[in-house]
Structure 1
């Protein structure tokens, strides 16, 4: 057996599937999906095939033509990879797996009506990155295996579904659905149900499989973009205003990186428990409601997810050990889009915030420098446990270094050629470096490519950002150490990013009276921008300013985005002599954990295991 991915049971000697046809029956009463997966291979195959599963009950595996059983075995569950589903085929070009998901599926969050915006109907959504698609359907769950798929979602009639795929139709169930094989006519065709059909005709890695089911409405914001959210007018209208400039960003992306290949670029604003800022699912980007800030600055998250349409979705890292190929390129592309659409100052602030965050992440991994590399070794490592800004920001720095070396026009030409050459393929770091050296001869003599990709920490030729606005904000933060807070005229035109950069550059050991005075003047703890609020609350915890612990509690109970949960819980439990804070953290998690997505729950539990 020769695995192609440290996080998958997929074997290099087995054929990779080309298409999966899913029939999914959503049972909200049990928080499960009864599913069938018709998996197609490129050619008839005899012998073993390995699939990844996690917490799936496998009822049977069948020949779809004769309905005869196909031999299979299911291993005990590995804590990271899940269970190995091994099939024995005999000249089969397809096979049908009948299964049921678990209520504890790591990809699915089932929300009861009180946990939603509208408080009326339940809601369920997926988050499959990095290795969670296997908890929704059996598959070769590695980005090395790109698939097309079709899906029928059988849901309560008062709900609707969206997918990262093209919508075909909404109709009543009929008696010959594929799912009759496992759940019977009375279940699949029960009264009060509706079927939504979708198709994804372009090959994508399994982690980009995505759907949401609930009471969902939409607003048109451009010729290629709708904003979807729960059918709450205030949420829909504010989202439509925040993302009104999306079409301009798409056009700028096309100018920089080539044709947009996915037809639609729709946006779904999820309930507050969504664990990420955004997820780049093609055709249907998922977003946290915390990006709706009222000043269009949340569109920068959209710019990042849009950039993934070229770097990540078109060209994908072959395994998570090469994750920087997705996120470093996308961070670079995002900042190029922001620079054109929102101006150089906005892009400079992004780079400055990223630089600060990167240095903090390198400090975080000081005891395990492997994860400060771009190309990492992750055998036996859960990718969620080592998720960080390193592949984003160090990857950006590497590409920025190349741009500085050869000049922007030459680098733009290189990028377009890179995307055109590898689109709809999954590649590794070595493939990129070979392409780089072939197309930019002598680059390895000017830049130490091995040091950048396999060295720890930051290479000495990394560029700290330099701009007037960055320098001014860092200077003001340094003056705070001397007891001077910024004057109102100095911050009159500041938005959330300026405050975020300022707060992140303040020392973590200032006196509580200074924190109180700063907040008394600028009301940062009350900010509607969570980037600002969380940066301030993290500072308050670090300085043991307990006046704000009530606001910390409120924040940890109203948002599930890991970007906010991780620093706040870490600040509460990290360090000695913080028994009161540790007790608070454990209480808050016990009270809020049902609100958090399973991925976020696991991340917080790992923080506790390290510090408690």
Structure 2
């Protein structure tokens, strides 16, 4: 008996769950879900069976004939939550009746004023990395891949979407209510039930649901975009090229296995740029800027359809298998659609971010490795670009060593061999060695995978445009300025690279000069705006404090929150006070995951 995953109570001697059937009553008044989860196991089990939970209130647990089963809910641990022990006797299935907590870490309940349309309340989920356990009891490890079904009871004016096939929508029926919800409540007038089924196996962190004032527009025969009504036209225009990206992904990596790729543009509180939930990708509205510069996020989430969703990291220690491969695949898609020069700009931006992460973790070098040891560590706390960018550079180094044609052949065999499985780094390395015989004599795999830092043989990106942008950024303090020709020709990516390569702290007159000329603080592209405001935050430039405050109130994407709060907290006393005050006022707008991250920054820097 031993744990399978440092972030889960799942025991190696227990059968894995193969399917979960959910019944969910969404109560927007109490901000809770009254639910039941019927778990179907891979084989019969007798004795204690372990499940992960976080802040769930368990009402009862019964077997297939509704016979009561004994259970114990242990005290909560800070990272894993509470271990639920269920006593089984030759069971292959059982049902847990429960309710979620209003502060469930995976759930964000939004009141109408917090939405774009301000008409209806809204709920969204974010289960990565270990938050599915706050929605339903489960073996919350990527090793426990599940199918699932769900019936979701909501007010009839709402639309529900999930990372599953939509089966139907009808009025509530007698006998459907789960034991956590009285039938009279389930059958209340003004409610509707939406039905979903997911037949492909996914890790629990890819369970996803949202409900609110949601409409959609068709993008292609196998793709739609869903948003609130007022956002629909802009989103449909921004993501019109989704089908072309899908076709390019299939050309590179093989058939698309998930039938549909629908996109949901969420309210601005969503904590990530995108989340690769199968069949229903979640996206931040900050990628909709009108010039299609944000579609790279869609390319990344699409790439996850092969690398991450189809082949998944076994535990968060192997997270680079998801994000390193997906960053590589994303850039291959971008290169095919936009050309090698544009792809190189993306690589250059990532290279800058990777070097910044090395500085961020200089006191914790364990988290600059690809294969990490996260025992006793909250994965949200150490989330970074390292698995994305160092993972990408490892694969890019392999491609350079063996040639693109040979590496493409390897990728296709890798995907076809391990599809619908969750694997360890060691499994990947053995497959790599078997395919490229003698690779250890050409590339030091130990240095790349198990050692901290950026290996000496990592390839630094180079292109004409990239070198021009970097040279101008490097020469800023010595008086080099952007020419009118550059200013007219640069796209959003060039501006972002330029700003992110400037010194983090600049004199007030330099910041003023930049903003007066280019109006960065008012830019509609959030990547450009936040890159500039981060400089202002670290520099304590008070003229931009209102713009920083507005930004922190407007979005909950952690990519923006982290640098802005970090900058303020490492700047002047007035800047620190601004950070404290804004967080106190805005925290209710952030997803619980983002709240926790910002709280951690306050504790780290505000001492």
- TM-score class, shorter-chain normalisation, is over 0.9
After TM superposition, the structure 1 = structure 2 runs for residues 520-535 of structure 1, keeping only pairs within 5 Å, are 520-535=516-531
1:534-582 CA-partner distances (Å, limit 9, x unpaired): 000111122222111110000000011000000000001125xx21111
Is 1:17 aligned to residue 13 of structure 2?
no
1:59-85 CA-partner distances (Å, limit 9, x unpaired): 0100132x1110100000111000000
Give 1:495 shift.
1.6
After TM superposition, the structure 1 = structure 2 runs for residues 163-562 of structure 1, keeping only pairs within 5 Å, are 163-179=162-178, 181-232=179-230, 235-562=231-558
> Which structure 1 residue ranges, 5 or more long, are not aligned?
none
Which of 545, 549, 564 aligns to 2:560? It is 564
Give 1:510 shift.
2.8
TM-score normalised by structure 1 residue count: 0.98
CA distance in 2, matches of 1:434, 1:462: 21
Is 1:589 aligned to residue 583 of structure 2?
yes
CA distance in 1, matches of 2:16, 2:276: 24
Give 1:345 shift.
2.1
1:32 maps to: 32
CA distance in 2, matches of 1:401, 1:306: 23
Q: Find the residue that maps to 1:420 and give its secondary structure.
A: helix
Give 1:178 shift.
4.8
CA distance in 1, matches of 2:447, 2:289: 39
1:146 maps to: 145
Q: Find the residue that maps to 1:492 and give its secondary structure.
A: helix
Q: Find the residue that maps to 1:366 and give its secondary structure.
A: coil
CA distance in 1, matches of 2:90, 2:186: 31
After TM superposition, the structure 1 = structure 2 runs for residues 103-182 of structure 1, keeping only pairs within 5 Å, are 103-179=102-178, 181-182=179-180
CA distance in 2, matches of 1:551, 1:516: 13
CA distance in 1, matches of 2:246, 2:514: 39
CA distance in 2, matches of 1:367, 1:243: 41
Q: Find the residue that maps to 1:519 and give its secondary structure.
A: helix
Give 1:330 shift.
0.1
CA distance in 2, matches of 1:143, 1:508: 38
1:176-217 CA-partner distances (Å, limit 9, x unpaired): 1151x3322111111111000000000000000001010100
Q: Larger deviation: 431-440 or 504-513? A: 504-513
- How many residues are aligned here? 606
- The answer to whether the Cα contact below 8 Å between 2:177 and 2:186 also exists between their aligned partners in 1 is no
Q: Find the residue that maps to 1:203 and give its secondary structure.
A: strand
1:5 maps to: 5
Is 1:609 aligned to residue 575 of structure 2?
no
1:70 maps to: 69
Is 1:579 aligned to residue 573 of structure 2?
yes
1:471-507 CA-partner distances (Å, limit 9, x unpaired): 0100111221212320111221112111000011112
- The answer to whether the Cα contact below 8 Å between 2:99 and 2:180 also exists between their aligned partners in 1 is no
Give 1:221 shift.
1.0
TM-score normalised by structure 2 residue count: 0.99
Give 1:44 shift.
2.0
Q: Find the residue that maps to 1:508 and give its secondary structure.
A: coil
- The answer to whether the Cα contact below 8 Å between 1:109 and 1:125 also exists between their aligned partners in 2 is yes
After TM superposition, the structure 1 = structure 2 runs for residues 84-99 of structure 1, keeping only pairs within 5 Å, are 84-99=83-98
> Which structure 2 residue ranges, 5 or more long, are not aligned?
none
Is 1:82 aligned to residue 76 of structure 2?
no
1:35-64 CA-partner distances (Å, limit 9, x unpaired): 000000122211111000000000010013
CA distance in 1, matches of 2:499, 2:490: 13
- The answer to whether the Cα contact below 8 Å between 2:504 and 2:535 also exists between their aligned partners in 1 is yes
1:56 maps to: 56
Q: Larger deviation: 464-473 or 475-484? A: 475-484
Point out 4+ residue stretches in structure 1 off by more than 3 angstroms: none
Q: Find the residue that maps to 1:77 and give its secondary structure.
A: coil
- The answer to whether the Cα contact below 8 Å between 1:362 and 1:457 also exists between their aligned partners in 2 is yes
1:44 maps to: 44
1:382-426 CA-partner distances (Å, limit 9, x unpaired): 000000000000000000000000000000000000000000000
Give 1:469 shift.
0.9
CA distance in 2, matches of 1:73, 1:508: 52
- The answer to whether the Cα contact below 8 Å between 2:325 and 2:392 also exists between their aligned partners in 1 is yes
Q: CA RMSD in A?
A: 0.8
CA distance in 2, matches of 1:503, 1:407: 34
Q: Find the residue that maps to 1:491 and give its secondary structure.
A: helix
Q: Larger deviation: 43-52 or 316-325? A: 43-52
Q: Larger deviation: 238-247 or 341-350? A: 341-350
- The answer to whether the Cα contact below 8 Å between 1:160 and 1:214 also exists between their aligned partners in 2 is yes
- The answer to whether the Cα contact below 8 Å between 2:177 and 2:183 also exists between their aligned partners in 1 is no
Q: Larger deviation: 344-353 or 252-261? A: 344-353
- The answer to whether the Cα contact below 8 Å between 1:485 and 1:518 also exists between their aligned partners in 2 is no
- The answer to whether the Cα contact below 8 Å between 2:540 and 2:568 also exists between their aligned partners in 1 is no
